[in-house]
């Protein structure tokens, strides 16, 4: 009961087919990435032209605004530090396929805990002790904020994505309460928290708060931790297959909780850096979306801490540059964001062409991916 047999001619090859690449040389991969950046700049240029500006001038100002002078470089590094820190925090969780999108909240939790010491305990201890207390408090608070969703996931299998996301809003609510209530600066018409005193401010090195050194040290530590330690190995196995981890006798709930505490604790330290190094006070915007942008950083870097340095730097340059062109060319903030988004889109999209290739119709391709 078969229908008429199809002749080979009846089959039309699709215009483009997609084949998986087996292996791609590092050089070729970078060629694709460079091409993607060029495409991104071209697409951005179209956008800038549509806004009625000269693309070359806008790009030049972007680069200059982010990198030209010492002051602008300091500003750029200040943007990059929390981004890199939060991306490092996310790395172990994501490696474990625990989708922690709560770095934002964990940063805030750390920031609140550190602020308590900065605001109310500064007169009771020496400066080094205060600093250590702030960092410990930040790490523990952030760690607990990351641990709670992990406990629920490990015990009752709750969805960690929703859980960590919702926790962001809870801690933001806590911050607003403190800002409008108990921690509100006395005599201020606008609800805000007092500025930190000099004791609670992070010292500077080369013009930027010393957080940058701490974050760079964390890069190395995280790289070694994930790649060479037993715990790093456990994280990788749990991420690949929980059943295999159980088969090997690993205590999966304990690993999930331990890793999330670590992830939250690093975010908490970032929160501490933000209040003590960058803002010198606690506000609603202390985390400022860093916890979400860090997901992009971590993902673009394929969870490799060393690559994250480059990605965080690139994103910081884009962000600082877009601030500059907003003032220089009166480009609205939204349009500048579209421009950054376009460039990011190409950077993310080119990963597809690194993993797959397109083959046009009629091309004879014999070798299998």
Partner 1 sequence: MGKNPIAIRRMGISLAFVPEDRLGMGLVAGMGMVDNMMLRSYRRGKGIFADRKPPKQLAEEIVDRLEVVTPGVTTPVRRLSGGNVQKVLVGREISSSPTVLMAAYPVRGLDINSSYTIYRLLNEEKEAGVAVLYIGEDLDVLLELCDRILVLCGGRVSGVVDGRTATKEEVGLMMTHMAGEGGRT
Binding-site ranges for partner 1 (CB under 8 A):
228-234, 236-237, 240-241, 243-244, 246-249
Say how far apart CA 175 and CA 183 lie, in whole Å: 9
Nearer Cβ to partner 1, position 187 or 249? 249
Report how far Cα 328 is from the mean position of its chain's Cα atoms. 28
Say how far apart CA 158 and CA 264 lie, in whole Å: 18
Q: What letters, b where the CB count within 10 A reaches 16 and e where it falls short, cover 24-51?
A: eeeeebeebbeebeebbeeebbebbeeb
CB of 305 to partner 1, least distance (A): 17
CB of 258 to partner 1, least distance (A): 13
Nearer Cβ to partner 1, position 237 or 262? 237
Q: Report DSSP letters for 9-75, one per residue.
A: GGPPPPSEEEEE-S---HHHHHHHHHHHHHHHHHHHHHHHHHTTS-HHHHHHHHHHHHHTSHHHHHH
Rg (CA), the chain: 24
Cβ atoms 245, 252 nearer than 8 A: yes
Structure tokens at 263: 């992830």
End-to-end CA distance of the chain, in Å? 36
CB of 226 to partner 1, least distance (A): 11
CB of 251 to partner 1, least distance (A): 8
Beta strand 356-360 with 16-20 is antiparallel
CB of 22 to partner 1, least distance (A): 9
**CB count in 10 Å sphere of residue 304:** 18
Nearer Cβ to partner 1, position 169 or 233? 233
Cβ atoms 89, 270 nearer than 8 A: yes
Positive or negative CA dihedral for 166, 169, 173, 179?
positive
CB of 348 to partner 1, least distance (A): 21
Say how far apart CA 46 and CA 339 lie, in whole Å: 10
CB of 249 to partner 1, least distance (A): 4
Nearer Cβ to partner 1, position 227 or 361? 227
Helix (H, G, I), strand (E, B) or coil at 204: strand
Nearer Cβ to partner 1, position 159 or 251? 251
CB of 302 to partner 1, least distance (A): 13
**Nearest C-alpha neighbor of 193 from the set 114, 268, 130, 123:** 114
Nearer Cβ to partner 1, position 11 or 20? 20
DSSP 275: I
Nearer Cβ to partner 1, position 137 or 218? 218
Nearer Cβ to partner 1, position 47 or 250? 250
């Amino acid at each position: 009961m078969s229908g008429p047999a199809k002749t080979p001619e009846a089959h039309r090859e699709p215009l483009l087919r997609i084949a998986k690449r087996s292996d791609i040389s590092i050089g070729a991969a970078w060629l694709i990435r460079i091409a993607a950046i060029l495409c991104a700049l071209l697409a951005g240029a179209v956008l800038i032209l549509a806004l009625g500006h000269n693309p070359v001038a806008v790009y030049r100002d972007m680069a200059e605004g982010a990198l030209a002078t010492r002051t602008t470089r300091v500003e750029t590094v200040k943007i990059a530090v929390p981004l890199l820190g939060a991306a490092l925090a996310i790395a172990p969780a994501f490696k474990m396929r625990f989708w922690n999108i709560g770095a934002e909240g964990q940063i805030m939790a750390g920031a609140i805990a550190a602020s308590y010491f900065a605001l109310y305990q500064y007169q009771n201890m020496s400066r080094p002790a205060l600093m250590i207390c702030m960092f410990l408090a930040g790490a523990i608070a952030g760690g607990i904020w990351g641990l709670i969703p992990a406990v629920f996931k490990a015990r009752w299998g709750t969805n960690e994505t929703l859980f960590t996301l919702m926790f962001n809003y809870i801690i933001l609510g806590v911050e607003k309460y403190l800002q409008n209530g108990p921690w509100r600066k006395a005599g201020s018409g606008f609800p805000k928290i007092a500025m930190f005193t000099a004791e609670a401010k992070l010292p500077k090195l080369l013009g930027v708060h010393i957080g940058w050194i701490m974050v760079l040290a964390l890069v190395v530590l995280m790289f070694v931790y994930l790649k060479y330690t037993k715990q790093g190995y456990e994280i990788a196995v749990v991420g690949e297959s929980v059943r295999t981890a159980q088969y090997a006798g690993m205590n999966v709930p304990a690993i999930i909780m331990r890793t999330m505490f670590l992830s939250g604790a690093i975010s908490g330290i970032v929160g501490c850096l933000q209040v003590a190094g960058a803002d010198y006070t606690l506000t609603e915007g202390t985390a400022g979306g860093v916890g979400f942008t860090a997901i992009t950083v971590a993902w673009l870097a394929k969870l490799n801490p060393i690559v994250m340095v480059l990605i965080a730097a690139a994103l910081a340059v884009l962000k600082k540059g877009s601030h500059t062109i907003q003032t220089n060319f009166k480009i609205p903030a939204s349009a500048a964001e579209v421009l950054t988004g376009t460039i990011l889109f190409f950077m993310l999209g080119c990963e597809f062409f690194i993993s797959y290739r397109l083959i046009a119709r009629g091309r004879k391709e014999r070798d299998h991916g």
